Structure 1
């Protein structure tokens, strides 16, 4: 039976969220940042140090929760972290806050844990962070090469299995701590936010509430329009500078036209000072998409990344060629003495840490998503993110923030 203060804990938690937050534009999940998230990984490069008061543990997890094949009873070690510093103890029914890991290694640092650590003393909560299977050290087959070898080993990488992982781990953890009466609230962001919401829906006996941040839980079944994310990114640039917006929008046609001309790729390579000669026009559009998306993704007031780029693009108002204005802007923000690094899909390591996420995108999470180039004016089909921007019911509440940033990854190329 749930403790008497369970509902009060949940309401108080929601109140804290509302007090800490102000109005948002959009929240979403996607894939593009999972391909080319250099800025995010730069931030993550400081994540390797585990914060004090957290201890890393391993849980013996079931490989297959739903079938009865020969390998279904195999197990693997799933990594998770715990922080007992603020917990009031099982006998007080103090809550447990569980962070659901997403499509990357579990990082225990200030960047990842700050929100829950800030709220933990008030609620006297236990903190638990769970790493997603197939990412980081929670690999069922020992190595990425083995895990990502073929569909036989990849078949166990799914959101459904990940939810069952969390349900099993949380249940056993509460039992081992004699904390059956401690209410659980799960928290996640982007894909992890989707998992948090789904965990609450599919396993309501395990958690009393979920905070799903930047989670496109309404994307599926055509509930939301199919141009949401890119329209917001476009609006970011348009609000910064109408001239910048139109220059970017018009540049795509110029890039494609130039690429079809004799020595066109050579001309583009020289114009953008690429680190090696372009072998396809997609190599250039890939990196330009990445630049625009990341700048919208991380355009916080202190950095003004979108404004910085637009100011560089608009600097020479007498230059009428949109390609030259774009090239100047890109070189200005990256340094005129540095070449522009480009890549092809073939150059990406097949067994890198992003391969599992690409598998999930195509297999289940984003399988209906089309491709898109920002400001493309119909060159490619946009699709939406499905963020929740208003209350759905008295128990499904939207908490928004001013100038909220979209997830850069929604405009990914599926099948790349």
Structure 2
């Protein structure tokens, strides 16, 4: 899941006719690939909760009919806080399931992300149409119309999603049980919280699993960086050490917190996606793992803990092919305040932060004493909401919004059936998810040594040893439910 700062994790009705199903066996693999990765468009309502509002817009989706068999299920992958990636239409665990079960596969891009633009811009006046409630209603309208237009009859629909879309998958089953037969909610933080300080608690635990001294060494390095920031004469050194795009300037506590958070997030990302097979999505830097980070932090030949920390960040940047770090809070606010679809934060930054400020919180502060970083408290995260969206977006508003989210969906008190909740136990997001069975058909799959959404990615020999069995058990469970 993209975090607040890096956000590093979908009108004319254009549908395939019934001939697409009968012709699939005559298509070459390259033809199938082109077919499933082409943009399709669905006429969607702007406001599902105001019958007098007749405005519509074009929502992007993808479709793969290669495995579809008469009477087979329909699999719907839910897009999230970024552009829907058509690579998912031919890869991932759900595609393996689809081939075995004869499923039709659909991927619906989330409103306000990717090419799915419901409004002329992302002004504060338009952003209220960006919410999980509207996104769930998008899914319901999409399913209803597609069922009719494609002649899908009573075929059962199974929804899939990971991270925030994992929440949407669970919530869609909860709110629209007459439409979703079952759901797989991978790494889903279904409990909204304002101060998600537990995120860094899990980061520390995950770093220490095989390297007990690693979090302590990072803590020493982080504290040294904090001390260096007390003196302007160190700004040049810090700029050079961390490959900052511009000479560091600290004018306020927000400037300092932004720098510390930005650098810490490189380590946080490594932990969150440790050893996940994400290359097919175009993600770089997958070779940087917890073991690599902690091996460097333990290697005294690199110098002091601070010097080792610098080495780690430089190595991560090199693996990602990043030239420099933008560490200016003022520039960040300017970018995030740009309301245009071509703006610097339009790929998801402005949109996702709005959702965190108005629905979820999830602010990963350094307030806990059981974590290795310093300098970015809850107040820093909430201040970003105010600086970017206006004075109304303050702590009181955020607290009230998060309470409404949990009242609407139930938080950890899920009342439903036929939902699978896989969670990697290395992943910090599992702290807000379902990790024990709630009933005989609300099933948790905690996965030892696995990271964020690990169950969704293509299998490979290097993955955690539990994953193959978990994928198999999930398949067997879905098979049973589809027979009901």
* TM-score normalised by structure 1 residue count: 0.75
> 1:338, 1:57 → 2: CA distance?
33
2:178 corresponds to 1:205 = yes
Structure 1 match to 2:445? 399
Instruction: For structure 2, list consecutive stretches of 5 or more residues without a partner in the other structure.
Output: 10-30, 251-255, 277-285, 382-427, 454-484
- Cα RMSD (Å) of the superposition? 3.3
Higher relative contact order (CA 8 A, sep 6+): 1
Whole-angstrom distance in 2 between the partners of 1:199 and 1:283: 35
Give 3-state SS (helix, strand or coil) of 1:260's partner: coil
Q: State the partner residue of 1:287.
A: 262
SS in 2 for 1:399: strand
- Aligned counterparts of 2:275 and 2:79: Cα–Cα separation in 1: 24
1: distance between equivalents of 2:67 and 2:144? 21
- Matching of residue 324 in structure 1 with residue 296 in structure 2: no
Structure 1 position 211, deviation (Å): 0.4
Mapped to 1, the partners of 2:117 and 2:138 lie a distance apart of 13
Hey, what's the Cα distance between the residues in 2 that align with 1:305 and 1:99? 28
Residues of 1 paired with 2:116 and 2:323: CA distance? 37
Query: Is 1:299 aligned with 2:274?
Result: yes
Q: 1:379: Cα distance to partner? A: 6.9
Asked if structure 2 preserves the Cα contact closer than 8 Å seen for 1:101 and 1:129, the reply is: yes
Corresponding residue for residue 255 of structure 1? 225
Residue in 1 that maps onto 2:239:
269
Match of 2:147 in 1: 174
Tell me which residue corresponds to 2:57: 76
Q: 1:171 to 1:332 in 2, by over 3 A?
A: closer
327-336 or 178-187: bigger deviation? 327-336
Aligned to 1:389: 435
C-alpha distance after superposition, 1:86-138 (max 9, x if no partner): 1113xxx3210111111111111158742222111221111111111111111
Give how far 1:332 is off.
Answer: 4.8
Change beyond 3 A, Cα 1:62–1:113: farther
Q: How does 1:303-314 map to 2 (within 5 A)?
A: 303=287, 305-314=289-298
Deviation (angstroms), 1:376: 3.1
1:148 alignment partner, one of 114, 117, 122: 122
| Contact preservation (8 Å) 1:184, 1:207 | yes
Shift of residue 317 of structure 1?
A: 5.8
Please give the residue correspondences for 1:128-139 in structure 2 after superposition, counting only pairs within 5 Å. 128-139=106-117
State the shift of 1:238 in Å.
1.7
248 and 171 in structure 1: CA distance in 2 versus 1, 3 angstrom threshold = same
Distance 1:328 1:174, change over 3 A: closer
Q: Which residue of 1 aligns with 2:12?
A: none
Secondary structure of the residue that 2:436 maps to in structure 1? coil
- Aligned pair partner of 2:43 in 27, 50, 60: 60
Cα distance change on mapping 1:376 and 1:334 into 2, 3 Å: closer
Matching residue of 1:5: none
What is the CA–CA distance in structure 2 between the aligned matches of 1:111 and 1:120, rounded to whole Å? 10
From 145, 162, 169, give the equivalent of 1:189: 162
- Are the equivalent residues in 2 in contact too, given 1:134–1:147 (CA < 8 A)? no
CA distance in 2, matches of 1:107, 1:231: 31
Aligned equivalents of 2:358, 2:236: Cα separation in 1: 37
CA deviation map 1:256-291 (0-9, x unaligned): 222122423234224445343111333531332121
Q: Alpha-carbon deviations, 1:373-396, whole Å to 9, x = none?
A: 751379746997412111111111
Select 1:346's aligned residue among 330, 339, 352: 330
* C-alpha distance 111-327 of structure 1, shift in aligned 2 (>3 A): farther
- How many aligned positions are there? 354
What is the aligned partner in structure 2 of residue 278 from structure 1?
248
- Indicate the residue corresponding to 1:85 in structure 2: 66
Distance in structure 1 (CA, Å) of the matches to 2:7 and 2:135: 24
2:6 corresponds to which of 35, 59, 73:
35
* Normalised TM-score (structure 2): 0.65
Partner of 1:413: none
- Contact kept in structure 1, 2:40 and 2:60, CA below 8 Å: yes
| 1:232 equivalent in alignment to 2:278 | no
* Cα distance in structure 2, aligned partners of 1:286 and 1:379: 6
Q: By how many angstroms is 1:333 displaced?
A: 5.0
Give unmatched runs, 5+ long, in structure 1: 1-28, 41-48, 408-416
